[in-house]
Amino acid sequence: MNYTTWSDDELIEALWIAGRKPERELIQACLQRRDSLTPTLLDLILDEGDYEWEDEDPRWYIGIHAGLLLIAFREPEAIPIFMDILCDDWYDNLMDWFASHLHHYGPAIVPSLAQAITDEEGYIEGRLTAIEILVELASRFPETRQQSIALLRTLLPQIKDGAVDVDNPSEEDIRVWTCAAEGLGDLGDRRSLPVVEALHKAKLIDEIVYGDFDDYKREFFSPKGFRLHHRKAAFDIFEAYGYRD
């Protein structure tokens, strides 16, 4: 299908009925219309029509198509919308589609992630996802690494005389500390090791995630330990849809 000759309205209509995997040529045509399609796509991310997932209504996917295109555009006006999705359990299905791609925004999304991560009253799953996005971003955009490490350190409690200085930690606290510790390990931050060790000693780390403190050091800081590497930062929307060249 030669979508290049279609109007903007026709392209949007085609996205509405495209279902799970739009034709490659349709997405390619949309990518060439950033300026004219962006306002409509911004309105469509959070479309809440009366569509039933179980019925495989193709219109259910319109917000996904809109969001993935806006990530491909690295559209800054979409960042607050993505943060709304991240911080609200109502949109968990949408975030499942977007979370693994938001790091492609690079440094532009760091302030918004920082706000989500440090919101102690915020949706816990959103906070944890924001931490994971930040770590992935820092691994791909070296210029954000030190800022990201500093932010993750602020999530860990203070230690006093080698012990964690905290009263009545909640299960959510433990989940945040575990996720932050793992992220700091991924990024090779040795300065945080004493705090992570103290958390393990106090049994304030969920050791199901990566093991005990010896496992932590072995996984992230031994000569054979795991490291995140700087990888290609460009977002491939066709790969996101499951196309393979």
The residue type found at 218 is R
Give pLDDT, residue 165: 81
Grade residue 52 by pLDDT with cuts at 50, 70 and 90: low
> In degrees to the nearest 10, what's the CA dihedral of 47, 50, 54, 57?
-70
pLDDT above 60 for 229: no
| Secondary structure (3-state) at 138 | helix
pTM recorded for the entire structure: 0.90
Q: What is the pLDDT of residues 95-134, one digit of tens each?
A: 999 999 999 999 999 999 999 999 999 999 999 999 999 9
Q: Taking the domains of the chain in order of start, what are their residue ranges?
A: 1-73
CA distance 163 to 147: 26
CA 204 – CA 213 distance, rounded (Å): 11
Do 122 and 116 form a contact (C-beta atoms < 8 A)? yes
Residue 18: per-residue pLDDT: 94
Cβ(157)–Cβ(177) under 8 Å? yes
Q: State the average pLDDT over residues 224-242.
A: 74
CA–CA separation, 127 vs 175, rounded Å?
A: 10
Mean pLDDT for 201-228 is 84
| Tokens read off for 105 | 């925004």
Q: How far apart, in whole angstroms, are the C-alpha atoms of residue 98 and residue 17?
A: 20
Model confidence band, residue 160 (pLDDT cutoffs 50, 70, 90): confident
| pLDDT of res. 219 | 86
Look up residue 195 and give its two tokens. 């705090």
